[in-house]
Amino acid sequence: MKVAVIGSGVMGHGIAELFAMAGHEVWINDVSEEILKSALQRIRWSLEKLAERGSLKENVDSVMSRIRSSVDQEKTLRGAEFVVEVVKEDLELKREIFKRAERLASEGATLVSNTSSLPITEISQGLSHPERVAGMHFFNPPVLMPLVEIVRGEETSEDTVRKVADLSKQLGKEFIVVRDVPGFFVNRILLRIMEAGCFLVDKGFASVEEVDSTSMEELGFPMGVFLLADYTGLDVGASVWNAVIKRGFEAYPCRKVQELVSQGHLGVKSGRGFYSYPQPGKFTRPQLPSAKPGISHFILAPAVNEVASLIRQGIVSVEDSEKGCQLGLGLPKGMLRYADEIGLDKVMSALEEMKRLTGMGHFSPDPSLITLISQGKLGRKTGEGFYKYEARERTFTTIYVKREPPVAWIVLNRPSRYNALNWDMVKELSEALDELEEDPEIRVIAVKGEGKAFCAGADVQEFLSLTPVKAMMVSRKFHEVFFKIQFLTKPVVAAINGVALGGGFELAMACDVRIASKIAEMGQPEVNLGLIPGGGGTFRLPRLAKRRGLELVITGERLKAQEALELGLVDKVVEHESLEDEVTKFAETVSSRPPLAVALGKMAVNTGRETNSWVSSAYEASLFGLLFSTSDFKEGVRAFLERRRPEFKGV
């Protein structure tokens, strides 16, 4: 099939390369021989890189032999069966090209535009056959990015959509189909995220750097909001922004972008934008502060609202909305999943606050969001939001286990005794850990307490019946289950939701990660009973708190959560109501990593703590080498070279 690609710039030459790799005869057109020569050189360079990685099915010269270049647009278009327009975002220029293509291309040819902002319906106005016109929006770089956004204009036929979809699959791409609205789907969501960032900075809620660090650390974005704007070009973003605003898209004005563009500060390409770079065109990641608590739901809220609105209007399907966010924006999950995790009530609260502070009506929560909240469907925490969540529970005598893949919660369930550890609880903890280690859906195990306490320690009432020998045996059993946690092949998180004292604190210290509520308190008060810690406190506490460890053992001092954080006894302190969300975020992050590397990484670290550097280094080297035999390692390397998100299987 003859494919005509009009425009050989950043996107055009990549699109031409894709079609040639798929076996098509490709004609590429631009305004000068010099531009075309550069495009062909870049195509060859890209093909050679793909060949080096083993991603090219034939030799470079064979692919290049299918590409012809010409400054004669009519010659390029004549007889083409598929035409891709990839010129600058100029509506009249695009219309001229499509009129010429309709006249010169083969009868029944499909005509598509790679526009990222201009409506397909407007581009096809005045054509004799607008039903043969669609949007085929590739993402940069086209050869590597996995998604194509197919845009259905008002006149686009089902047959045209099907042809573009089939061709997208032939090119090795995933695709989504959206109706023709300004910005289509992916760019509308990106603009909503950008407007949220601008709002937070303008209103003094956060700095540019804090918005970026929060979006990456807490939300898992591949790049920060403003860093991405710099990377793609502030002028490009401003152009898309202006095009959709002109067509009725209401958004909070991002004046800083316009100001920077007017000063010639276009981001990485000019050496300066929101950040400064070593030289024009040279990207380096800036040093960023820690994430700013309490702003992540503001970053997401306008985008969630936009997705809900587009789905309700039939612009995009639920499935395609999630796929567009993941494959088009590179996010770890779609906006609806994000919303369910943070809570739909928090999303609505953020929207209402943004509306109150700006007076802008588009921040009004979408009716579909209001309906879900009125029905008590707030997301994962209530079992249903945009999606339904099946919480599979198993109830023991003193604990219960709630599976919410990728995380499983072991809940200490003796609230009337402040979840004090007794012999039954120790045995049931051990049994639950064994079960969850074997469950392939579970990637992280979290431990928390039912009610107001995490765990107030060992049940003192049971002490009264212990002989010295039995007391030693009980201590050994505590050690067994706590060492099981330490050497389990899955990360275990202590979600410290209240007091964690004595054996309860020892349980928390045996876990790999400790996230504490602001109201939590912890300590080893055994000395007040004439005892010492019996579940590992005498060696784990000094390791974590260093010189303060002995002091805490012999004084029995209780620490507030913030003090524990400063001593290194906990890894993070969060608002009480955010505790489960924080654990879930951690689980989501870990679940995106290769399971075998996570397991062996944990084993190497924990074994290294228990032995000398010679033994631990040899053990580390052995595990490092072992991972080279896994399919996950090969997938990780391929994904890195192909600039895509890896799909790890745990093999």
448 phi and psi angles, rounded to 5 deg: -145, 170
CA distance 187 to 192: 9
- Count H helices, E strands: the chain? 28, 18
Helix axes 296-312, 186-202, angle to 10 degrees: 150
Residue-by-residue DSSP string for 43-96:
HHHHHHHHHHTT--SS-HHHHHTTEEEES-HHHHHTT-SEEEE---S-HHHHHH
Name the residue with tokens 């209530």. 382
* Phi then psi dihedrals of residue 596, to 5 deg: -70, -40
| Cα–Cα dist 63/473, whole Å | 73
Q: Are 82 and 25 in contact (CB under 8 A)?
A: no
Residue 72: Cβ-neighbour burial (10 angstroms; 0-12, 13-18, 19+): exposed
**CA 365 – CA 305 distance, rounded (Å):** 6
- Active site members: 506, 526
Phi, psi of 380 (to 5 degrees): -60, -35
How far apart CA 336 and CA 19 sit, in angstroms, is 34
* Beta bridge partners of residue 25, listed in sequence order: 2
- Residue 450's φ and ψ, nearest 5 degrees, are -75, 135
Retrieve residue 86's tokens: 């990839």
For residue 321, which of 380, 386, 243 has the smallest C-alpha distance? 386
Residue among 118, 92, 130 nearest 184 (CA): 118
Residue pair 502/526 in contact (Cβ under 8 Å)? The answer is yes
287 Cβ contact list (under 8 Å, min separation 6): none
Phi-psi map region of 259: left, alpha, beta (phi>0 left; psi -120 to 50 alpha): alpha
Q: For the stretch 27-44, what's the b/e string if a residue is b when 16 or more beta carbons lie within 10 angstroms of its beta carbon?
A: bbbbeeeebbeebbebbb
Distance between CA atoms of residues 231 and 221, nearest Å: 14
